[in-house]
């Protein structure tokens, strides 16, 4: 396997599982991952939120862990990375207001580098204008803005554990899809993973 250099963009109240699990899984298989947040430096933390499906009409939210960033946002050069990971949670709704974040997303999309986005992470893709004509999975509540941005919504199955690959773009509806989402992303990266 060729080791890849992966950028993970996050912010406060990123979904706990959606940052912790892909970060750890990608490191486990031998890739290098730089987790960054606008306005923060390596060693600082972002607060996470735990979203769960407990029978109400929408997910519940509780305070999660502190996630330690591994790189400084202002020092990154997106051209030096092979792939991008965008976790969900509440962070994407305000990160999409940061022009530099959208510039980074556009770089990966324009260069056709692998991008993995989950749940509300689609908000960065729609704000960056990179989903037109693409088939994309996301949390159902984000499907209206996906459609407005020209993307085609790939619905979640009843257990939210499905993912979808459209060329370089690997998307999923929520954290129950981690096995499918990461398996498909690793395939796009060219990483060999035994079933």
Average the pLDDT over 31-36 and give the result.
98
Reported as a single tens digit per residue, the pLDDT across 167-189 is 999 999 999 999 999 999 999 99
Mean of per-residue pLDDT scores for the chain: 96
| Neighbouring-strand partners of residue 168 | none
Bridge-based pairing state of the strands 169-172 and 164-166: antiparallel
* Residue 194, pLDDT score: 65
pLDDT band, residue 58 (cuts 50/70/90) = confident
Reported as a single tens digit per residue, the pLDDT across 85-135 is 999 999 999 999 999 999 999 999 999 999 999 999 999 999 999 999 999
Q: What is the dihedral of CA 162, 21, 24, 111, to 10 degrees?
A: 50
- For 99, residues 6+ apart whose C-beta sits below 8 A from its C-beta are none
- Asked if 117 contacts 125 with a C-beta cutoff of 8 angstroms, the reply is yes
Domains and CATH numbers, the chain: 5-189 (3.40.50.880)
d(CA 9, CA 142): 19
- Asked if 112 contacts 168 with a C-beta cutoff of 8 angstroms, the reply is yes
């Amino acid at each position: 396997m060729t080791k890849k250099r992966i950028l993970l963009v996050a912010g406060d109240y990123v979904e706990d599982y959606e940052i912790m699990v892909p970060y750890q899984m990608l490191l486990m298989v031998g890739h290098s991952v730089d987790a960054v947040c606008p306005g923060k430096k390596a060693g600082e933390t972002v607060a996470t939120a735990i979203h769960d499906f407990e029978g109400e009409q929408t997910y519940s939210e509780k305070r999660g862990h502190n996630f330690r960033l591994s790189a400084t946002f202002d020092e990154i050069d997106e051209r030096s990375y092979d792939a991008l990971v965008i976790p969900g949670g509440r962070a994407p709704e305000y990160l999409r207001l940061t022009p530099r974040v959208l510039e980074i997303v556009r770089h990966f999309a324009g260069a056709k580098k692998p991008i993995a986005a989950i749940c509300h992470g689609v908000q960065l893709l729609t704000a960056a204008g990179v989903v037109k004509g693409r088939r994309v999975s996301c949390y159902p509540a984000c499907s209206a803005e996906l459609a407005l941005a020209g993307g085609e919504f790939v619905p979640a199955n009843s257990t939210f554990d499905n993912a979808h690959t459209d060329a370089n773009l690997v998307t999923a509806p929520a954290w129950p899809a981690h096995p499918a989402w990461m398996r498909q992303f690793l395939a796009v990266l060219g990483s060999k993973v035994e079933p």
